[in-house]
């Protein structure tokens, strides 16, 4: 017996309505879940910034703004909280690390994308991936047991710890990040630009210097800034090789200290409601502001690069 065409149409419409209703519920639930996740993430970020900033600002009740940022005298037991030496040490360590990291990383990235055969390219990529996965404390231990004695014997210094040892350790840690992002930027350069350069008579090296690097400058700059952020925020490896002395380094092999190392060395020895603790929180807030500033710069570079 044949089924009436009207009944088939009604069943089809009911099934279609049920499917549409379920799809609508699922889409709305998924949208709400995504919105709540983004909202929670934003609240967590705001809470971190607010808590660290609010706690750190209390230091200026007992310490003047000028003394905290411009004084080099850090003697908490005598109520002297000058963080100038730590700020200068952080900037000096970051600059020295970039001085080592940038030329090495760009050379590796150019070689790996323009000259290396496939087997060597795969080997270098695997090596960089392994270097990224090594914990920072392992780098610090290697620097403490191998690098510092080498520096001490080479430069005939008493300790060997200082900016040079810390910058070399950080260079090894930052190279994989800068190389990977730079490689992606070099690979994203259209072949039409390269072919046009060759058509005008450029050599391979001229094409790299005049076309490849300028065309990928936005991505390379992003890689350098991310490497700088890694150098500024690194803690354990720096603590193990920098010497942790509250003084301005007058040489590359003189023990000194930076914001991160001073925080981790002293945070466990202070009470919460003390000027000392508030000073350490203000140092953390400075690091947080630097990180946020670097993120803003990277986002603006990506917009221009697009």
> What's the maximum distance between 2 C-alpha atoms anywhere in the chain?
104
> pTM of this prediction?
0.84
Cα gap 210→128, rounded to integer Å: 27
The helix (run of H) or strand (run of E) holding residue 213 is helix 213-215
Tens-level pLDDT at each residue, the chain (306 residues)? 444 555 555 555 555 565 665 677 877 888 888 889 989 998 998 999 899 999 999 999 988 889 999 889 999 888 889 999 999 999 899 999 999 999 999 999 999 998 889 899 899 889 988 888 888 899 999 999 999 999 988 888 778 888 999 999 999 999 999 999 999 999 988 888 888 888 888 888 889 888 898 888 888 888 888 888 888 888 889 999 998 888 888 888 899 999 999 999 888 888 888 899 999 999 999 998 888 888 888 777 666 554
Is the separation of the CB atoms in 114 and 208 below 8 Å? yes
**Residue carrying structure tokens 């670097």:** 294
Is the separation of the CB atoms in 302 and 226 below 8 Å? no
């Amino acid at each position: 017996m044949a089924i009436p065409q009207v009944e088939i149409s009604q069943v089809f419409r009911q099934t279609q309505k049920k499917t549409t209703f379920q799809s609508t519920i699922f889409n709305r639930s998924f949208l709400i879940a995504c919105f709540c996740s983004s909202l929670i993430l934003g609240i967590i970020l705001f809470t971190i910034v607010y808590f660290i900033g609010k706690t750190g600002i209390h230091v200026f009740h007992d310490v003047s703004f000028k003394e905290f940022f411009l004084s080099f005298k850090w003697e908490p037991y005598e109520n002297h909280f000058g963080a100038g030496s730590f700020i200068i040490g952080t900037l000096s360590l970051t600059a020295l690390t970039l001085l080592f990291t940038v030329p090495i990383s760009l050379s590796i990235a150019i070689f790996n994308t323009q000259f290396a055969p496939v087997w060597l390219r795969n080997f270098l990529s695997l090596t960089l991936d392994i270097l990224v996965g090594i914990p920072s404390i392992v780098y610090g231990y290697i620097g403490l047991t191998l690098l510092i004695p080498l520096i001490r014997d080479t430069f005939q210094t008493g300790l060997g710890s200082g900016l040079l040892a810390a910058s070399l350790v950080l260079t090894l840690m930052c190279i994989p990040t800068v190389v990977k992002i730079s490689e992606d930027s070099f690979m994203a350069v259209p072949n039409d630009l390269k072919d046009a350069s060759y058509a005008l008579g450029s050599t391979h090296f001229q094409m790299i210097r005049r076309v490849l690097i300028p065309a990928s400058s936005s991505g390379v700059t992003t890689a350098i800034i991310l490497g700088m952020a890694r150098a500024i925020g690194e803690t354990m490896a720096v603590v193990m090789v920098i010497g942790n002395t509250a003084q301005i380094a007058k040489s590359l092999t003189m023990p000194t200290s930076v914001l991160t190392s001073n925080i981790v060395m002293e945070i466990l020895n202070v009470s919460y409601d003390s000027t000392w603790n508030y000073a350490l929180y203000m140092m953390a807030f400075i690091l947080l502001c630097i990180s946020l500033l670097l993120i803003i710069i990277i986002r603006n570079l990506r917009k221009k690069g697009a």
